[in-house]
Amino acid sequence: MAVGTEYLAEQPRLRTSAIVLGAVAIAALLAAPFFFYPVLLMSILCFALFACAFNLLIGYVGLLSFGHAAFFGGAAYFTAHAAKVWEWEPLAAILLGVAGAAVMGLVMGFLAIRRQGIYFAMITLALSQMFAFICLQVPFTHGEDGIQGVPRGYLLGIVDLNQPLAMYYLTLAIFLFGFFAIWRIVHSPFGNILKAIRENERRAISLGYRVDRYKLGAFVMSAALAGLAGSTKAIVFQFATLTDVQWQMSGEVILMTLLGGIGTLVGPIVGASLVIALQNYLAASDFPVLVLIGIIFVICVLLFRRGIVGEILELMKRRSKGAA
Amino acid sequence: MSTIFGIPTPALYGQILIGLINGSFYAMLSLGLAVIFGLLRVINFAHGAQYMLGAFAAYLLLNWLGINYWLALVLAPLVVGVIAVVIERTMLSRLYGIDPLYGLLLTFGLALILEGAFRYWFGAAGQPYAAPSQLSGGVNLGFMYLPIYRGWVVIASLVICIGTWLLIEKTRLGAYLRAATENATLVQAFGVNVPLLLTLTYGLGAALAALAGVLAAPIYQVSPLMGSNLIIIVFAVVVVGGMGSILGAIVTGYVLGVLEGLTKVFYPEASSIVIFVVMAIVLLVRPAGLFGREE
């Protein structure tokens, strides 16, 4: 269900402009906290990374996970607990969250890849719901209250993360690290095999690839990166609650990716920015956000399944074909 | 007081009854999902919302128009069925032939719209809906006290499930339906109006969900969240049963409901996750589901 993402790589002229665009974007991100509210920016960065991690699975392996909230919210809980109760250094707490999400990804992925397509979606949804129930009951998550008042602490014992700028640049660094990791995965031989599985699983099997191992590997990576986003969010916002593990969150990340463009590298970032900005804008009004999210879902599915970035890429492709 | 494994028997029977009731709803909803999936290849995520819509239709019919439970039992599924037909004609039918995941995403969006709208109008809290006077009260069965309405729900759901199964397995319409599930193009070539069949199937599935919603209204409170809480469990039920068989969906629904009830007695902490644990075990042992076929 993805769009031709290799398109950019095929066109040297576009590739240079992509690099220039990337540099401009990074410069803009570095300057952004001087113009915008840093907390909103950090929220966008966390969710953009979450959506990119989710997109790794749907866009490049063709697996729709309806349970990514478990990794995002689960990692947030682990990190919050480590930072607050064990008083770990923030980066170590984040790494623990990532490791926890990876282990959960291994378990959930092992079960879910036994079925394909629509069943995969239902199984991941059910397993994440089970995790949400567990989070409601086990003592360390503090049930409905969640873990509140998580200290941001000192990065490596030196940098005070209570300063908004320090926190922002750490979040940005984590986001760029995650995005680069995904870019590397997608453009590696491993990533090419994933795309082969997406395009024709049976053929990939007949070519001798152990498809299940690749799928599981991608699932664990996606879970770990989603966990990275959740852990960072826990440090930024200083809490971890049930909201992050519930199915609505899985739905939200699907929407961000769908809106931006499934299978495009930057699509999820665009989608996440729009959805978070919209939620932020609507927070003051009493308009039901859920209804709006539902409407965007319906419109995306019916009218532009490629997403915003996907449609733009398609347009550029058609235009350059027309010129040739 | 007599006990089994140290559990007082009335508590045990009580939980088995609750399990049977929950199982009735699992069975009715997974049946509808299976029927829709069989023909349309769409997982109807809006199934929970349509169930909630059925309950709200009964509630609103009573409070706005004074229409009683018995009429609501007919009218609510009809209304929801018609809405579903419109949805299928205007939206779902555009997605046939492309990746079935889009059908899931579309119905997910619809579910969010419905849930969000009802939450906006009625709040998240539940609204009570009284059982009809004919079915209120209870009888003492000697070994336990049975509220009549709960007995009625178990019997009604059995009748609905068996009725639907007979409709699909024993009637001409059902034969068309099964044939179209196997090979829609061929059935169309024989002159059967397959698009109409698809529309009717979606309407029927949604009406079944709404009927379950009306039955549920007096037991659980009528709340905008009642559907989404249930639908995920029903998904697990469907994965356990496998969607290849209508009868399989029904049996799995009841069995898992009772199992959940029993867990509440013996190990209450696990009762909310037991169905998911069963799903995980089934996936390990028999990935296609208990009654499913490998595709």
Q: Which CATH class is domain A7-29+38-323?
A: mainly alpha
End-to-end CA distance of chain A: 27
Q: pLDDT tens for residues A234-292?
A: 999 988 888 888 888 998 999 999 999 998 888 999 999 999 988 888 887 878 888 88
Residue A1 has pLDDT above 60, yes or no: no
Q: Does B105 touch chain A (CB under 8 A)?
A: yes
* Paired tokens of B21: 């009731």
Q: Which residues in chain A have their CB less than 8 angstroms from residue B102's CB? A: 1, 301, 305
Task: Describe the crossing of helices A289-303 and B101-122 by its angle, rounded to 10 degrees.
Answer: 160
Q: In percent, how much of chain A has pLDDT > 90?
A: 41
On whether the CB atoms of residues B201 and B35 are closer than 8 A, the answer is: yes
Domain boundaries, chain A: 7-29+38-323
- Mean pLDDT within B152-160: 92
Q: Does B269 touch chain A (CB under 8 A)?
A: yes
Q: Which residues in chain B have their CB less than 8 angstroms from residue A64's CB? A: 101, 104
Domain hosting B213: range is 23-240
CA gap A54, A229 in Å, rounded: 11
- What does the pLDDT read at residue A287? 80
CA gap A123, A108 in Å, rounded: 9
Q: Which residues in chain B have their CB less than 8 angstroms from residue A305's CB? A: 98, 102
Asked, for residue B173, whether it belongs to a domain, the answer is yes
CA gap B28, A31 in Å, rounded: 56
Min Cα distance A128 → chain B (Å) is 10
Residues written for chain B = 295
Quick one: pLDDT band at residue A75, thresholds 50, 70, 90?
very high
Q: Which residue of chain A is at minimal alpha-carbon distance from B281? A: A111
Q: Does B232 touch chain A (CB under 8 A)?
A: yes
The total number of structural domains that make up chain B: 1
Task: Describe the crossing of helices B9-40 and B47-65 by its angle, rounded to 10 degrees.
Answer: 110
Residue B139 host element (H or E): strand B138-140
Among the listed residues B108, B116, B112, B75, the one whose alpha carbon sits nearest the alpha carbon of residue B92: B108
Q: Is A306 helix (H, G, I), strand (E, B) or coil?
A: coil
Alpha helix ranges (H) inside A187-306? 189-199, 201-206, 211-237, 247-260, 267-282, 289-303
The DSSP line for A45-112 is HHHHHHHHHHHHHHHHT----S-HHHHHHHHHHHHHHHHHTS---HHHHHHHHHHHHHHHHHHHHHHH
Q: Is A122 helix (H, G, I), strand (E, B) or coil?
A: helix
Cβ count near B285 (within 10 Å) = 8
Asked, for residue B93, whether it belongs to a domain, the answer is yes
Residue A159 host element (H or E): strand A159-160
The DSSP line for B99-128 is -THHHHHHHHHHHHHHHHHHHHHH-SS-B-
Q: Which residues in chain A have their CB less than 8 angstroms from residue B108's CB? A: 251, 254, 297
Asked, for residue B206, whether it belongs to a domain, the answer is yes
Q: Does B130 touch chain A (CB under 8 A)?
A: no
CA gap B76, B202 in Å, rounded: 16
Residue B254 has pLDDT above 60, yes or no: yes
Q: Which residues in chain B have their CB less than 8 angstroms from residue A121's CB? A: 43, 101, 104
- What does the pLDDT read at residue A239? 87
